[in-house]
Structures are given as structure tokens and as C-alpha cells.
């Protein structure tokens, strides 16, 4: 019986590692004036999440504490304790000119709205 329990733990650990590396799932919606980024990060509290925008790279880090009492009786664990993801945004943002219009975390979903600056310059013809 102990061998099966150990095998289940190992499978859970591998799938959790996969989730931490590949996911979180996200959508991006680009309009003429903003980029909306929607990221699923269930199971974390708002204080566990750290966001950084450096140029066109959005960094998402989330880490939650593990309850040691629950860990002792754990048979299978697939939900991640941490997320560390870097996402290249499909818009040009110069370093030092980063702005975020809004950042909301509700029901496990993080929603960011990033303004899109107009490229180039309008030229009037006389």
C-alpha cells in the first residue's frame, strides 16, 4: 500500500511541476488603445501575487505557503504552490515607459489592461 501512495505522490509532483512551468492559461485581447491580458491563477490570494512589467516582458510570480499538517496526510497534489512566468507582450513598450491602466484579481482570474501607445507621428499636409 505504501508503494502506491508514493507513486501517486510522484505523479502529483510531476504534474504540478508541469503546471508551474507551462501554465497559467491566459488570453490577450488587443484593441487600438489597449491590451487586455487575462490570466488564470486560482488558489492564490492577491497578496501572494507579484507583477512586474519591464519593457514588453510581463513577469508573474505567485507563491503560497504550504500547511505542513496537510502535507503529512497528502496522497496526491497537483495544484501548484508557486508560479514564475514571463510573457512577451505583442506590443512595443520602451523600458522606463511602462504603464498599466488597471490590474484586478477576482475569483482566481488576474486581469490587466495595458495602454497601447500610438506608433509614429501624424503628419499634416499643407
75 secondary structure, DSSP code: S
* Residue carrying the nine cell digits 507579484: 50
- Report helix, strand and coil shares of the chain as percent, to nearest 5: 25, 35, 40
Domain ranges of the chain: 2-115
Per residue in 28-63, pLDDT tens?
A: 999 989 999 999 998 899 999 999 999 999 999 999
Count of beta carbons in the 10 Å neighbourhood of residue 56: 17
Instruction: Give this prediction's pTM.
Output: 0.72
Q: Which three cell numbers stand for residue 4?
A: 502506491
Distance (Å, rounded) from C-alpha 90 to C-alpha 96?
17
pLDDT band at residue 17 under the 50/70/90 scheme: low
Per residue in 73-83, pLDDT tens?
A: 767 666 778 88
pLDDT band at residue 13 under the 50/70/90 scheme: low
pLDDT at 71: 63
Average pLDDT over residues 70-75: 68
13 secondary structure, DSSP code: H
| Domain 2-115, second-level architecture | Sandwich (2.60)
The closest of 85, 118, 114, 120 to 98, measured between CA atoms, is: 114
Amino acid at each position: 500500500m505504501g508503494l502506491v501512495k508514493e507513486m501517486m505522490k510522484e505523479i502529483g509532483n510531476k504534474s504540478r511541476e508541469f503546471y508551474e512551468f507551462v501554465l497559467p492559461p491566459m488570453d490577450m485581447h488587443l484593441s487600438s488603445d489597449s491590451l487586455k491580458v487575462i490570466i488564470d491563477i486560482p488558489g492564490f490570494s492577491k497578496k501572494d501575487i507579484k507583477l512586474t512589467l519591464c519593457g514588453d516582458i510581463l513577469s508573474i510570480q505567485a507563491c503560497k505557503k504550504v500547511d505542513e499538517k496537510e502535507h503529512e496526510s497528502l496522497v496526491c497534489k497537483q495544484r501548484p504552490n508557486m508560479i514564475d512566468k514571463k510573457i512577451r507582450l505583442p506590443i512595443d513598450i520602451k523600458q522606463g515607459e511602462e504603464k498599466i491602466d488597471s490590474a484586478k484579481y477576482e475569483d482566481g482570474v488576474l486581469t490587466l489592461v495595458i495602454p497601447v501607445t500610438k506608433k509614429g507621428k501624424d503628419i499634416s499636409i499643407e
